[in-house]
Amino acid sequence: MLIVANWKAYVEDLKKAKKLLAVSKRLTHVSKVNIVLAPPAPLLGALAIRNKSKVSFGAQDVSRTTGGAQTGEVTAQSYVAAGATYAIIGHSERRALGETNTVISEKLAHALAHGMLPILCVGEHERDGEGRYLSYIREELTAAMGPLTPKERVQVIIAYEPLWAIGKTATDAIQSGDLAEMVLYIRKVIGELLPGKSARHTTILYGGSVEPSNIRGLAGSSGVDGFLVGHASADPVVFRELVKQLS
């Protein structure tokens, strides 16, 4: 199992960040879960540059630029220099700010060009009885990954995060049966983009109201390879319990 802890802007000081890192380090010794921490950019460098543990680090976003006169932009190369090996791209909160599939595809390419493993976020706003949301997911996947080479597409991790399930309680989150269907559908679409049987090996994560009370059930029968966790990952007690439920 892979758990990506997206701290968003919940963690704003180095003291709390170091505490969360210490908890994550201990968890890697007692569990089989691979942990990726995605702190805010200024904290990432402070935590990752001297990291010698099994904990990995990821960027919450990367710029579509490659450097130069771009005030405020943080490039993929800068993140790699700071110690990040993963990059969250196309998160729903970035899409809500106007990020298009074209921009997301460019960011994927930049991350891959610098050796990062991109985590492509996709997810529908709502579900309809006619299944139109499936076409929405297909469009997000194909538009973002289509411009990439087959060799690049193989490296992309998919994070399915339905917007209607974000910020809710475990009882309002997706059910394991529905999640299993979505995992199969995503693999079907990915199979059309990848050669041979490569889609079987694509890592698929789930994000959306993941809590200690439902994470084991979602993991056990849905076919997901891990989770993209937001607010819960910024609480050391809750995050510890999340990982323990998968151990």
Please identify, in words, the CATH class of the domain defined by 2-245: alpha beta
Kindly list the distances between the CA atom of residue 206 and the CA atoms of 3, 92, 101, 109, 123, in Å, as whole numbers in the listed order. Answer: 10, 13, 20, 23, 10
pLDDT score, position 128? 83
Instruction: Quick: pLDDT tens for 87-141.
Output: 999 999 999 999 999 999 999 999 999 999 999 999 999 888 778 899 999 999 9
CA 85 to chain centre: 12
170 vs 112 pLDDT, higher one = 112
Percentage with pLDDT > 70 across the chain: 99
- What's the predicted TM-score (pTM) here? 0.95
Could you tell me the residue ranges of all domains in the chain?
2-245
Residue 192 in tokens: 């059309």
What confidence category does residue 199 fall into, taking pLDDT thresholds of 50, 70 and 90? confident
Residues 6+ apart with CB under 8 A from 152: 108, 109, 112
Alpha helices in 90-235 (DSSP H): 92-95, 101-113, 132-145, 150-153, 176-193, 215-222
pLDDT at 61 over 90: yes
pLDDT score, position 234? 96
Q: What is the CA radius of gyration of the chain?
A: 17
Closest C-alpha among 99, 210, 90, 81 to residue 156 = 90
Active-site positions read: 91, 161
Ranges 22-26, 140-144, 149-153, 192-196: which has the least confidence: 192-196
CB 1 within 8 A of CB 33: yes
